[in-house]
Each structure stands twice: as C-alpha cells, then as structure tokens.
Amino acid sequence: MKFADIKGQEDIKEHLQNAIALGKTSHAYIISGEKDAGKMMLAEAFAQTLLCQDRGKDACGNCHSCKQCQSHNHPDIRYVSHEKPNTISVEDIRQQINNDIVIKPYASEYKIYIMDEAEKMNKAAQNALLKTIEEPPHYAIIFLLTTNAAGFLPTILSRCVTLELKPISADIIRKELMEHHNMPDYQADVCAQFSQGNLGKAIKLASSEEFNEMKSHMTSLMRRMEKMDVFGISQAVKELEEYKPKIGDYLDLMNIWFRDVLLYKATGDERKITFQDEKMIIKRQASECSYHGLNTIIQAENTARRRIACNGNYNLAVELMLLSIKENIA
C-alpha cells in the first residue's frame, strides 16, 4: 500500500510522510476512525514506506521490501491478532508484542506492530502494553487502530501520537465509485451521500445486494406514501419489521431523500438531487410540501430513531413516523 493510493486524509498522510522524511517517527501511534474508513491502509502505507529500500516519502512499490509488505510477508511487520472475538487479552499482548519486541528486526532498521480493533483491549491488556510503550526499543513502532480512542487509558493516550480520520468529500467518493467500481452516476451519488465520508463503506455498499434492496424499498415507499391510506400505513409498518436490525441505515436513506426534497425546494437546482432516478417525485413533493411540513417530517424521523434506540415499541415508533410523513408530504 502506497500513500498515493489512499484517497483523502491528506493531513494525516502529510504528517506521517514528513515524520519518515525527517527521521522523527513516534514509537506509538493511535489512528482513530470509523470502521472501513482507511485506518489499516494508512498504517500499512507508513510501514511500507518506512521499510522501502528507496527511502523516499512514499513507497516505490517495486523493491523486495515493498513486495514483501504487499503480500503481508515482511518479517519486520507484525499484525496483532486475537482469538476471542470481543477481547484482546493480556496474553495476546504479552505473546505477540511484549515477548516479541525484544527480538531485533530481521531485515530492516525498524520493527512495526499493527493492532486492529485495539479498542477491544481490556484494562489488563492496556496496562501490559503500557509498560512496553513507556520504554520501547529504539527500532519499535506500534500502531493502535481503533474506532474509539476514548476507550484507552489516559496513560496510553498520553504516550501515543493520535491521528483522527476525517470524512472524505462526497465528490472524491463519487469519482472513485464511478471510475474504479463501474457504478453509474445516480447510484454513486446515493452511496457517496450515505457513506458520510467513509470511502471503504461506500465501496462495500456499491456491491451490496442488501443495501440496494433496502434503497429500492425505501424509494418505493416514498413514491406510495402520498396515496397511502390507514391500511396502507399498517402494511408498511409490517414491511419495515424486516428492516428492524438495519433500521438506522433505512432512516439514513430517508433522511437523504427528504434532504433532496428540502434542497430542491430551497434552490430549484435538480443537479443537487442525490436520488437522480427519482427526481420527478422529489420535485413534486418539494412543490407540494411546506418548509414547516418538511421540518416536521425530519423531526418525526429523529424521534423514531430515538425511541427505537431506547428500546421503545418499534412498530409504534415506525407507525407514528409514517403517519407524520403522510400528513405533511402533500
């Protein structure tokens, strides 16, 4: 993995590349961000560049060391694993880091440890790692990749350089999906907006049949909503029981829909509509729904989300939301 291959995260890439170029790398880094946001890519780009025989600000991709990195066979890069799905134990840390780190690098000047899902370290594991981070060998660099840096002990945080990933622009994600994943523009728009700046998530959505089916159901529901009677609302509530495990994603799609309605109502610019294949419906709803009505709908969605998150009655929360949409959409 090369820095040049990573989309976005320019500040973090610059920080890591400058540290390599100036010979001022830290002994421990925390890279924090959402799942699939690119934490592992950044750690691997750093490792490959640091170990590259060309010694530049980015890996050459062609030398023996780079090829070993790309095949995950470099002897001086260690990936910390854990058998228990939800816990990284003190034994994992002792066996894979503490007992191993005293052995000098085999083929290079550095030895790099990459721990994914580092938030799963229990307190004992963190304390075991702390002893190594406090007095590491000069050749050792440890990467902790996490979705929740706040879960680390303050003593861990204070001894690491923390780098927090930022959302990537929707335009960059859209371009990547269209150019490298053969996605038509109207589908790329939806995935780019839904992913909220997470390129890895957007790429997964691009090939997800489950997501595409959910999107199709949501758009179908929005098309039917204007003419739906009480019986139709009840049927829709039953249909949405299927999406209960993913209701947060379903509501996110609805938010994008009504954002389109609101944006078109405010600007009259159909180019800004995400659901381009549904723009005629969206334009009609924008003309028929008031600003107050749209605000009421958005509040109803947020209320439903809170009720469901608090383990309220799922069907009742969904029914009240749909009734509010029905009352205000026309």
- DSSP letters, 162-196, are EEE--PPPHHHHHHHHHHHS---HHHHHHHHHHHT
pLDDT recorded at residue 131: 87
- Is residue 29 over pLDDT 90? yes
* pLDDT band, very low/low/confident/very high, at 330 (cuts 50, 70, 90): low
Task: Say what percent of the chain tops pLDDT 90.
Answer: 62
pLDDT recorded at residue 196: 81
* pLDDT band, very low/low/confident/very high, at 193 (cuts 50, 70, 90): confident
Mean pLDDT of the chain: 90
Q: Which residue has the higher pLDDT, 49 or 197?
A: 49
Q: Is residue 66 exposed (0-12), middle (13-18) or buried (19+ Cβ within 10 Å)?
A: buried
* pLDDT band, very low/low/confident/very high, at 171 (cuts 50, 70, 90): confident
**Cβ-count burial 158-177 (b if 16+ within 10 Å, e if not):** ebbeebebebbebeebbebb
Contacts of 50 (CB under 8 A, 6+ apart): 20, 25, 110, 112, 141
pLDDT recorded at residue 170: 86
226-264 confidence digits (pLDDT tens): 888 888 899 999 999 999 998 988 999 999 999 999 999
Map out the domains of the chain with their CATH numbers: 3-164 (3.40.50.300), 208-328 (1.20.272)
* pLDDT band, very low/low/confident/very high, at 202 (cuts 50, 70, 90): confident
98 DSSP assignment? I
Average pLDDT value for residue range 83-102 = 91
pLDDT recorded at residue 283: 92
- Flag whether the pTM goes above 0.85: no
Neighbours of 115 (CB within 10 A): 24
* Contact in structure between 219 and 194 (CB atoms under 8 Å): no
Average pLDDT value for residue range 143-171 = 92
* Contact in structure between 78 and 113 (CB atoms under 8 Å): yes
Strand arrangement of the beta sheet that strand 77-80 belongs to = 77-80, 111-115, 140-146, 28-32, 161-164
